[in-house]
A and B are shown apart, each in its own frame.
Chain A
Amino acid sequence: MLSIIIAILLLISVTYGIFSDNIANVSYAAVNGCTDAVKLVIFLSGSMALWNGIMNIADKSGIVKKINKIISPLTKRILKGINKNPQALKMVNMNITANFLGLGNAATPLGISALKEMNKDFSIYSQRNIAVFTVLNTASIQLIPTTVAAVRLAHGSSAPFEIIPAVLITSVISAFAGCLTAYVLFTPGLKNKKEKK
């Protein structure tokens, strides 16, 4: 998928560059883009190292467990029928918490385990739960957007983290929109939709 995107980008750049007589700029970008990537990663790696380290401390100090307990009632409501499968519930809670704390690397394997558990068909809502949970992960509710803040800082932002309230509101609303859509679309017995087993 990514190769196609890059190919398209390159094709459009060169074609449009020739067409709009901008090809000199394109050529410059071709030679300099790579260096910019290295500069960016050097800048980002500090931030990634710091926050992964801090969140690891949070994880080992049981903060993850505490947050799990808080969100569990909410999760049970949204993913109906999941309490028939307590292992799935546990994985779901941990995935949500990891995402929330910005531990993307931890969240993904947890999410996969959660899905595998949910797929074991313990309830008629299992397919819907899978859908809602997947969409929740694509919508991402993150408390501290460390990567974006690092890039902002690199370009002279006076207050890189001031976006946090806006981000929270937007992520929650978009997650809600997505999950609601999945919830409705996958409700068992809706019209004559075939349930994929």
Chain B
Amino acid sequence: MKIIDLFVPLIIVLIFLCGLFKKVNIIDTFTEGAKNGLKTAVEILPSLILLMTAVEMFMASGADKALSDILSPVISFLGFPKECVPLAIIRPVSGSGALSVLENLFSKVSPDSFAGLTASVLMSSTETTFYTITVYFSSLKKKADYRIFLAAAAADITGFIFSSLTVRLLF
């Protein structure tokens, strides 16, 4: 029995128990949150349809492979799987785009392969940089300083490198 298998069921049970203990109306609270989740899913569907069509066309043309071949000397030096390069490029730019690329990647490699695991870790540990910065700074009615992008890029690139490293180490 691996510890990691315990993790998710344990969290669910603990949260439920906390809720019961605090006399939270579990079903109503759950439904409220679940409705929100469903709403989000529906909200992303239209743009996802457009994006996935574009991404699949891109992948089908073979351009993604050409791109990673060009970048391959640097990439293999860092031990980063070639298949994940399109994902790394799109991730800071578009969340739905990254999701489409991930989906497409998994249709070609197993999610439990080295590339699949790296992609999963990469996807989970980074966020859509440009979107977040834009949203935050437009609410402040300010232009984002170039230093912010620099720092965010540092975070993203570190994330890419370490996603393949941690997979290599832990699996």
Interface residues of A (CB under 8 A from B): 1-2, 5-6, 9-10, 12-14, 16-17, 20, 22-23, 25-26, 28-30, 32-34, 36-38, 40-41, 44-45, 48-58, 60-63, 105, 108, 111-112, 115-116, 119, 130-131, 134-135, 137-142, 144-145, 147-148, 151-152, 154-167, 169-171, 173-175, 177-182, 185-186, 196
Contact = CB atoms under 8 A, between A and B. Distances in A.
B41 A33 contact: no
B70 to A, nearest CB: 12
Contacts of B15: 54-55, 57-58, 61, 63
A57 B59 contact: no
Interface of B: 2, 4-5, 7-8, 11-12, 15-16, 18-19, 21-22, 24, 26, 29-38, 40-42, 44-45, 47-63, 66, 90, 93-94, 97, 99-100, 102-103, 106-107, 110-112, 116-117, 120-130, 132-137, 139-140, 142-145, 147-148, 150-152, 154-156, 158-159, 162-163, 166-167, 170-171
A156 B152 CA distance: 33
Given A112-B139, A181-B150, A167 B124 contact: yes
B49 to A, nearest CB: 4
A185 B124 contact: no
Contact of B121 (A26, A108, A147, A170): A170
B56 A152 contact: no
Contacts of A159: 4-5, 112
A171 B103 CA distance: 21
B57 A157 contact: no
A181 B79 CA distance: 24
B88 to A, nearest CB: 12
A54 B45 CA distance: 23
5 contacts: A5-B90, A22-B60, A33-B54, A135-B152, A166-B171
B31 to A, nearest CB: 7
Contact of B61 (A25, A152, A179): A25
Given A1-B130, A148-B123, A10 B32 contact: no
A137 to B, nearest CB: 5
Given A16-B62, A166-B163, A5 B97 contact: yes
Given A131-B148, A170-B125, 11 more contacts: A29-B57, A54-B15, A57-B15, A57-B24, A58-B19, A115-B140, A139-B156, A164-B4, A167-B124, A173-B159, A182-B147
Given A57-B19, A57-B30, A148-B102, A48 B37 contact: yes
Contact of B151 (A17, A53, A181): A181
